[in-house]
Structure formats: C-alpha cells, structure tokens
Amino acid sequence: MHTYQVQSGKKITLKDWDPADLSLWDKGKKEGIKETEKLVKELQVLQEKIYAQQKHRILVVIQGMDTSGKDGAIRHVFGLLNPQGVFVKNFKVPTAVEIAHDYLWRVHAHVPGNGEIVLFNRSHYEDVLVVRVHNLVPRTVWQKRYDHINQFERMLADEGTTLFKFFLHISKDEQKERLQARLDDPLKHWKFNVGDLEERKVWDEYTTAYNHVLSRTSTEWAPWIIVPSNRKWYRNLVIAKILVEKLGKMDIKFPDPQSDLKDIKID
C-alpha cells in the first residue's frame, strides 16, 4: 500500500508521482466522501483529547501550487474541529517588519503550544520556493535554508511537537481547469488572482524548487507526504486518513481527574 511518504534522504522528482493516483481507495468518490466524514469524526475525538490533555503539540504544514486545494483541505478536514484548540495561520507576502528579521522569526511565533493543533497555510517553505523562483535573495542565502529548516523542525520535534507536512500535488492541466472554472463562475471570481497566471508561467521552476524541498527536507522527524490532489475528495480522504492513523498511535487520551471524583460531594 502506498503511504505517499517521501523517504528521508531520498532524491525524488514529482514526475514519478501521479497526481491522479487513487490507490488508497477503490470504492469510488461517493463512498470516499463518506469515509472522510467518518475519519473527520474520529479526528474530532482525537482533537478533544489533545486539547484536554495539554501535552501534545501538533503542527500541520500545507504546501502546494496555486489552486492545489490548500484552503479546501483546511475547510473539509479541519473545519469541524473545535476552534478553541485549532488555529490556522496563513503566511502571505512578508510585512516590512517580518522582512527585517530572519525568515523563521514569523513562523516560530505561531508554532503550537501544548494541546494545540496549528495549520500552516503556506509556511517557511516559501522561503526556498517563491524566494528561489523569483530570486528574492541570492542562491548562497537560500541554499543554507534547507539545513536551517531541518534543524528547526528537529528542535520542535525534540521538544515535543508532532509535525505533518502535506504537499498537495496537482498536474498542470488540472490547474488550468481550476483557473478556468474561477473565470467562468461569477461566484468564484473573488478567488481569481491575475498573479496566479504569472506564477503558472514558471510552473517548471516551481516544480524544480519543490523537487529539492521534498528531497532535502523530508526527515524522520518531519516527513513530507505527497498527496495526490487532482481529485479533491481523494485529497481530503488521504489527509484525514494519515492524520487519524498517526495520531491514533500516539499517547492521546483524556487526562486523569485531579482527585478521586467519587469522594466529591456537591452541596
């Protein structure tokens, strides 16, 4: 069975990974959506325990090309969790103050504390992706960042954070269809950003940059998962399934009560 996990230290290229793969599910879309709903319910229970236990810190990094479904995955997989313990942080173009600091500064500020699940919609990986593709800093600067990032994530893991990193993998044709759909449907016009067309022109450069990210920063403590994302329902199913499976193996449980509750009498 395919786990979609990039082996640590292995050099990979995205052209070997099928964005339309469906090998984890052979019962079709309708049953797949039902399965995801079931998994999301399990995730709700797990998250409630994580919040109550105040022990684990869960960081979920979501990366992918424009239109790959980062927002959709967040809405469908995490949308029903208790917002009290789940936080989404969108990393956009850095502000002047952010640019005046190292690139991990704004990211570190938002990592999860005990009992929290934090979703990064884009992340520090943009500092070796868009920054590289558009030459925003010299090569000598961004080249050192793979090591920084591995070490940063290692520190987080050593100190008690569990990391999930999902790359939402779509084909260039699929992107074309999704951009066209945004043009054709007035209700989707707000999502259409002319800048996306400029980024589409450098699709190959982004693919190269992602090949390096996935090859150099998939580690034992923070492996990358390449999620086949041409089908939205399958993308959600894979993310939910991997989360439930891995969290299910962790020591996640309601904490013991503070004292023996049977002796307590409420007058």
- The binding site for a copy of itself (CB under 8 A) comprises 54, 57, 97, 100-105, 108-109, 111, 113-115, 141, 144, 147-148, 151-152, 154-156, 158-161
Least CB distance to a copy of itself at residue 208 (A): 23
Helix (H, G, I), strand (E, B) or coil at 80: coil
For the beta sheet containing 224-228, the strands, ordered from the edge strand earlier in sequence to the opposite edge, are 86-90, 116-121, 57-64, 161-169, 224-228
Least CB distance to a copy of itself at residue 103 (A): 7
Of 2, 22, 1, 24, whose CA–CA distance to 230 is shortest? 22
**CB-wise, 161 or 217, nearer to a copy of itself?**
161
**CB-wise, 115 or 228, nearer to a copy of itself?**
115
Least CB distance to a copy of itself at residue 255 (A): 15
Output helix, strand, coil percentages for the chain, rounded to the nearest 5.
50, 15, 35
Beta-carbon contacts of 17 under 8 Å, excluding residues fewer than 6 positions away, are 169, 226, 228
**CB-wise, 55 or 122, nearer to a copy of itself?**
55
**CB-wise, 106 or 191, nearer to a copy of itself?**
106
Supply the DSSP string of 156-175, one letter for each residue. Answer: HHHTTEEEEEEEEE--HHHH
Least CB distance to a copy of itself at residue 98 (A): 9
Least CB distance to a copy of itself at residue 114 (A): 4
Helix (H, G, I), strand (E, B) or coil at 208: helix
Least CB distance to a copy of itself at residue 161 (A): 7
Token pair in block for residue 103: 């690139």
Q: Please give the Cα distance from 181 to 169 (Å, whole number).
A: 19
Residue 43 C-alpha from the chain's centroid: 15
**CB-wise, 70 or 145, nearer to a copy of itself?**
145
Residue 213: what residue type?
V
Q: Please give the Cα distance from 160 to 154 (Å, whole number).
A: 10
**CB-wise, 154 or 232, nearer to a copy of itself?**
154
Least CB distance to a copy of itself at residue 120 (A): 15
**CB-wise, 137 or 202, nearer to a copy of itself?**
137
